[in-house]
Structure 1
Amino acid sequence: MRTAVVMAVAAATMVLCAALYMRSVTGTLREETLSGLREVARQSAGNIAMRIEKDMQMLEAVSRFVGAQPELDIDGVTRVLCEEVESTGFKRMGLITPDGTAHTTDSVEMDLGGRGYFLRAMDGETVISKELTDYADGEPIYVYATPILCGGRAEAVLFATNAADAFASVINVRMFEGAGYSYLTNAGGDVLVHPDNPESEQGMSNIFDRMEEGRMLPDEELGRMRRRMSSGDSGVEEYFRDGERRYLSYTPIGVNGWYVLSAVSGHVAARKSVYLTMLTLVVCVVTVTVLIGLFGYILFMQNSRRRELERIAFTDPVTGGYNWNGFIRAAREVVGGAAEYVMVSFDIDKFKVFNDMFGHGTGNQLLGQIWGILSRSVREGELFARVSADTFDLLLHAAPDEEIVRRLTEIGGQINPPGQRYTLTLSFGVYRVGPQETDVSLMSDRASIARKSGKDDSRTTVAFYDHAVRDRILREKQIEDAMASALEKGEFEVYLQPKYSASTREIVGAESLVRWNRPGVGLVPPNDFIPLFERDGFVVQIDAFVLRETCRMLRGWADEGLPAIPVSVNVSRVNLHDPGFVGKVCAAAREYGVPPGLIELEITETSVLDFENIGRLTGIIGELHDAGFLVSMDDFGSGYSSLNLLRRLPVDVLKLDRAFFAGDADNARGRTVIAEVADLARKLDIQVVAEGVETSGQVDFLTSIGCDVVQGYYFARPMPAGEFERLRRPQNKND
């Protein structure tokens, strides 16, 4: 009897302990669910706010750029906005003049003078509108607007339009195994974006009206929720829908009174409660040890849930490593301390071409391989992440420039191992993090500026950030914005530099050189725009312009009766990859009726060395010869030349670069090498031209070794066509 009583008491004690324990567990699971719900709502609200902030910063940056121009060029602004629309995903962007007329990227004409955001922007505010109806198609939209300021006064308004569902991808994050969902509303409860989840209230227009209609919350609690949302506060509510317990978390975004409302069924917590109840009964029957194990299991489940939320928020789905948010969080924990770091940004040039050639699946595999290479290359305390598309950021321990370049070169070598069927060109930008500097986004931006400044399609580059780099990027952007219109307006001019016979000192030819005479600026040095044009491909249009102008001048000289002399025209390496290049040259000569033998096409030595298929280049030169044109190798001696090229390439003229003879002409060994090159060229029936001649001593030496033609400042600088023609006419009369 006593034993039975003890057993009964023990059993009752165990049942009571189990009941108390499960009550505690149920409460813990409920709080865990609510905590996860709050975190999802906070994360979604933060993502939407971050996107809005990023979009507004971009719009303000464009506004500052436009406002800094001497005058408001509506067409130029529209072209810039068209490029931004393609990269940002806006439905439309445009400029509104003070009379309310909108100039848009999709050429939709509309009067926006009555829009509230326009009036506020004209008063100097940067705003985002409430939900509006698009004048163009009647769809719901939101509009960002910012003033274009000139002298502190709004001259016009830039705006960008987002479709109402633009934030759907942010709120449609899978949570609680598909049982949770989120809405985007305003403070009044009006639903702005619905979730794509069957558990949600489809078609609901106002959350408060629906709750009041379905008696989901007592009036007092519903009124409290209304007041808290109207005051911009966050909170969590427990309500019932169709007799089922549910939880709702509401978090303000901080823009226009918008809220993210996240909801989940109470079954999420209930299912675990049932499971743990059964497990606890087993534990009560077995041993206290299992109870300890159960506590451990609960802690494990809580940590797993937290890790899952962190994985969604901070993991890149392609590589499995940090995404941008994860990188920022990790980087903030290490920068600003005693250790010194450098921020590195690098990307793969023309990665879109790679995806087009091999497919996006192969492209993603490549990104995963790069992530693996970086994981093996970083040291303790260093971080890296894929931050967007094919762009990676690295936070490395500071070291001398040479060491940084060596490490990045090694990484590039691993990404491009020998025998790989394709070669990737990488661009690295490096920014040295200052003491106590903690703004990771700014560090990344500056490393990105350095990366873009050093881009070279032909080779992997490493560039370091400084303010001069930033200024150069801005200058190059201005040049790129102006280059097409400058060509149309005739701002580019062709200058001629005479070529003289080394023996007679008579003009026997000329070289056509492009010059840019910008209104209000004057002559722009070629080194300021030619390398940029070669990178962005605009050099093809410049080369075509110089060739046509040269043909036009040759035609004019022939009509005037001046003796015919050949004129050389530079050919960029971009043209050599154009299958129709030879046909275009022939067409220009035919258009002006110019004998092809008067046109000499100059191909630089570096272009020859960079050309992947020498056989193909030989074929191009052969086609030009068949058409009657002359071909020269320019800048010979400026790089690491191979004399074997002279045997393989059937060029007519060899132009010795000044660097080849300027210093070597002062010593016996150098003179011997130059003389042998000139002698070899003569034996191959190649004319020798020396460019960059600046002294009489150089002229005497080059004449003594049998150089045919000399060109340089010693004789004449490049000059306008009219001045060159005046230089020739007296010579013609003396003849």
Structure 2
Amino acid sequence: MHLSILPAKSLLHRLRGRRSPTLDQLNLTLSAVLDQSPACIIITDLVGRVLYVNPGFSRVTGYSSAEVLGRPVSLIKSSRTHADTFGQLWRALREKGEWHGELLNQRKNGESYWVAASVSTLRNEEGVVDRYLSIQDDISLRKHYEAQLFHRSNYDLLTDLPNRELIQDRLQQALDMAESQHHQVAVLFVNLLQFRRVNETQGHEVGDRLLCQAAQRLQQVLSPLESLGRVGGDEFVIIMPEVSRLQAVEHLSRCVLQQLTEPFRLGDAELHISACIGVSLGPEDGDSADALLRHADAAMQQVRSRRESGCCFFREEMNAKARDGLAMERALHEALACEAFELWYQPLLDLKSDRLQGVEALVRWRRGADDWVLPDQFIPQAEESGQIIGLGRWVLKTAVHQAAAWQCVLNRPLEMAVNVSPREMLYPGFVDDVAAVLRESGIMSGTLTLEITESIFMEPEDESRVVEILERLRGLGVKLAIDDFGTGFSALGYLKRFPVDVLKIDREFVRDIHVDMNAATLCQAIIWMAKGLQMGVVAEGVECAEQLDILRQSGARSIQGYHIAKPLESKDVLMFISKNDGYIEE
């Protein structure tokens, strides 16, 4: 609490204004005020020797009056107080007779403390200045809170690195200096690849520890002149304020990549991540901190789109791509909010019975009456931004409820296949979401198939978690299919380690089987291998009767493609079934 301290002259005037006070009473009142005031009150002579201190001074500084009387008041001055502060103090006393400001002092035990001080001149009976009066309030607690507030406003709470605002300020200072001294500034925008997967599979506590370790590693490769900040969840920025050779930037980039490639040991877990780096150079790539950061970010996104570790220097054409990506992300958010997505369904034919076995749900985005956004335009962006989680939940719920409704009408099983990305499947709570949808919809047991891609099996640290998720899904009666088999990694060893029910042969293998013996032989080999592993086979992309015949003879269980039907709107599915069940287009 800060007290409003009245100058002694003002206090005397107020006391004298009272009715009939005696001089003794006045002195007693003044003495009580001085003794009981929590403020430090100091009177010195003109050379700064202490003539008087009140008990408040002793309580704050730890010095008794006997220890300071006759000694210079600089006894409590901290060496950390800037000399300009005292220059301003003496100038104000000469010109105005008073000074108000803040001082950093030092207690008897060596501890520093802040005071709000008022210093004024005192005159003798002849009106000549012969003493100084200083009244000081201890404001150390306020200063402590202000420092905490500043730190929280400018530093990342997790890593204690400068945040975006502070790093942007430092970058602008570096640019201003570079302009006056005619050198370059480099900005390295560092993104941790696979970090989101760590958060989703290992939990945020492990993710936070990994970020702290990553920050420490990055600090180790920087010089004292270079600055490191954290500007996003898995994003860091490095500022090189004085660049004379591009080789220095390239060397630092290699050091950063090497540091982040080394395994991270967190308790019993050993995690592997990598990084992508975008570099911009000032003033060539931008003459403001904001522009350099945006351009370095755009260069980083160029590397990230390749899904591999590396470094890239900014080029102007990257701006357009970054703007397009941001626009797509915003449009996706709006589309999710206003339910602009639709599900279309591609029929799946059982080759043994020639009946419609089921359908595959395919998400479509209708922007207008005849304005469609293709899946390969928005699905990658949804994956990148994390919006695939919300979109995937909507697709799963809509498709399963639709299947249950059709089953009630048909009074028979009708399978529903839904595509699920690795990010969706590894997201916490995915299995619980699936269980809830199955329970709410009333879909027939064993008629939901989730289609996943081979990439989910390629991360060794995720293997045990993936196996657990797949087994829990099978425990719910959900079938699991590997979509686009053969186009990914195709490390066949995973087929025996992971619980999978169906292989879907990609259309690339089916396209030429009626004109190319090698293609037909390869397709036949995949079917035989799947059968040997007790797995079903679905062939995609069947577009003619010749392909259908070869697949039937090869032992494929099911097919889908334009020869059977193009994707249908939900309102057309039942009509298609009633007209074509048991009939194959010639």
**Band of TM-score, shorter chain:** 0.5 to 0.7
Give the C-alpha shift of residue 512 in structure 1: 0.8
Give the letter for the 1:373 counterpart.
V
Aligned twin of 1:242: 132
Give the C-alpha shift of residue 630 in structure 1: 1.4
Aligned twin of 2:399: 550
Structure 1 stretches of 5 or more lacking a match? Answer: 1-173, 184-192, 203-209, 217-239, 245-314, 377-382
Aligned twin of 1:718: 567
Give the C-alpha shift of residue 418 in structure 1: 4.2
- Look up the SS of the partner of 1:641 in the other structure: coil
In 2, Cα distance between the equivalents of 1:674 and 1:351? 34
In 2, Cα distance between the equivalents of 1:181 and 1:350? 55
Aligned twin of 1:581: 430
1:369 maps onto 2:211 in alignment: no
1:478 maps onto 2:326 in alignment: no
Give the letter for the 1:357 counterpart.
E
Aligned twin of 1:640: 489
In 1, Cα distance between the equivalents of 2:203 and 2:439? 41
Structure 1 pair 398–522 and aligned structure 2 pair: CA distance change class (3 A) = farther
Structure 1 pair 580–633 and aligned structure 2 pair: CA distance change class (3 A) = same
In 2, Cα distance between the equivalents of 1:598 and 1:398? 63
Cα deviation digits, residues 67-108 of structure 1 (max 9, x gap):
xxxxxxxxxxxxxxxxxxxxxxxxxxxxxxxxxxxxxxxxxx
In 1, Cα distance between the equivalents of 2:197 and 2:86? 37
In 2, Cα distance between the equivalents of 1:704 and 1:409? 55
In 2, Cα distance between the equivalents of 1:242 and 1:391? 53
Give the C-alpha shift of residue 677 in structure 1: 2.0
* Contact 2:350–2:558 under 8 Å retained in 1: yes
Aligned twin of 2:295: 446
- Look up the SS of the partner of 2:495 in the other structure: helix
Cα deviation digits, residues 215-257 of structure 1 (max 9, x gap):
79xxxxxxxxxxxxxxxxxxxxxxx99379xxxxxxxxxxxxx
Equivalent pairs, count: 440
In 1, Cα distance between the equivalents of 2:441 and 2:206? 44
In 1, Cα distance between the equivalents of 2:399 and 2:203? 41
Give the C-alpha shift of residue 332 in structure 1: 5.8
- Look up the SS of the partner of 1:633 in the other structure: strand
* Contact 1:319–1:371 under 8 Å retained in 2: no
Cα deviation digits, residues 478-518 of structure 1 (max 9, x gap):
235425522xxx32221101123457765322101222334
Give the letter for the 1:683 counterpart.
G
Structure 1 pair 331–434 and aligned structure 2 pair: CA distance change class (3 A) = closer
Structure 1 pair 692–179 and aligned structure 2 pair: CA distance change class (3 A) = farther
Aligned twin of 1:386: 228
Cα deviation digits, residues 321-378 of structure 1 (max 9, x gap):
x9655555555666899999975311445699799737989966643431332559xx
Cα deviation digits, residues 514-553 of structure 1 (max 9, x gap):
2233458843322333333334444333333222222322
* Contact 1:335–1:436 under 8 Å retained in 2: no
Q: How does 1:462-611 map to 2 (within 5 A)?
A: 465=314, 466-479=318-331, 481-486=333-338, 490-501=339-350, 506-518=355-367, 522-561=371-410, 563-578=412-427, 580-610=429-459
In 2, Cα distance between the equivalents of 1:364 and 1:574? 24
Give the letter for the 1:478 counterpart.
R
* Contact 1:458–1:610 under 8 Å retained in 2: no
Larger gyration radius, structure 1 or structure 2: 2
- Look up the SS of the partner of 1:596 in the other structure: coil
* Contact 2:416–2:449 under 8 Å retained in 1: yes
In 1, Cα distance between the equivalents of 2:183 and 2:211? 35
Give the letter for the 1:639 counterpart.
G
Structure 2 stretches of 5 or more lacking a match? Answer: 1-79, 90-99, 105-112, 123-129, 135-154
* Contact 1:450–1:469 under 8 Å retained in 2: no
In 2, Cα distance between the equivalents of 1:444 and 1:362? 24
In 1, Cα distance between the equivalents of 2:403 and 2:558? 20
Give the C-alpha shift of residue 638 in structure 1: 1.9
In 1, Cα distance between the equivalents of 2:564 and 2:252? 48
Q: How does 1:157-172 map to 2 (within 5 A)?
A: none
Cα deviation digits, residues 8-43 of structure 1 (max 9, x gap):
xxxxxxxxxxxxxxxxxxxxxxxxxxxxxxxxxxxx
Say which of 158, 176, 187 aligns to 2:82: 176
Give the letter for the 2:557 counterpart.
D
TM-score (norm 2): 0.60
* Contact 1:597–1:630 under 8 Å retained in 2: yes
Give the letter for the 1:723 counterpart.
D
1:652 maps onto 2:501 in alignment: yes
Cα deviation digits, residues 700-730 of structure 1 (max 9, x gap):
5544533322223444332211122221121
In 2, Cα distance between the equivalents of 1:617 and 1:367? 29
* Contact 1:373–1:411 under 8 Å retained in 2: yes
Give the C-alpha shift of residue 416 in structure 1: 2.6
Structure 1 pair 721–352 and aligned structure 2 pair: CA distance change class (3 A) = closer
Aligned twin of 2:13: none
Cα deviation digits, residues 256-275 of structure 1 (max 9, x gap):
xxxxxxxxxxxxxxxxxxxx
Aligned twin of 2:258: 413
Structure 1 pair 662–433 and aligned structure 2 pair: CA distance change class (3 A) = farther
Cα deviation digits, residues 187-223 of structure 1 (max 9, x gap):
xxxxxx9868566646xxxxxxx89xx579xxxxxxx
Range that drifts further, 581-590 or 645-654:
581-590
In 2, Cα distance between the equivalents of 1:514 and 1:200? 66
- Look up the SS of the partner of 1:415 in the other structure: helix
% identity of equivalent residues: 23
1:344 maps onto 2:188 in alignment: yes
* Contact 1:688–1:708 under 8 Å retained in 2: yes
In 2, Cα distance between the equivalents of 1:700 and 1:434? 65
In 2, Cα distance between the equivalents of 1:670 and 1:591? 44
TM-score (norm 1): 0.49
* Contact 2:407–2:414 under 8 Å retained in 1: no
Structure 1 pair 575–361 and aligned structure 2 pair: CA distance change class (3 A) = closer
Cα deviation digits, residues 357-408 of structure 1 (max 9, x gap):
37989966643431332559xxxxxx853144562235678989xx999984
Q: How does 1:649-728 map to 2 (within 5 A)?
A: 649-662=498-511, 668-694=517-543, 698-699=547-548, 701-728=550-577
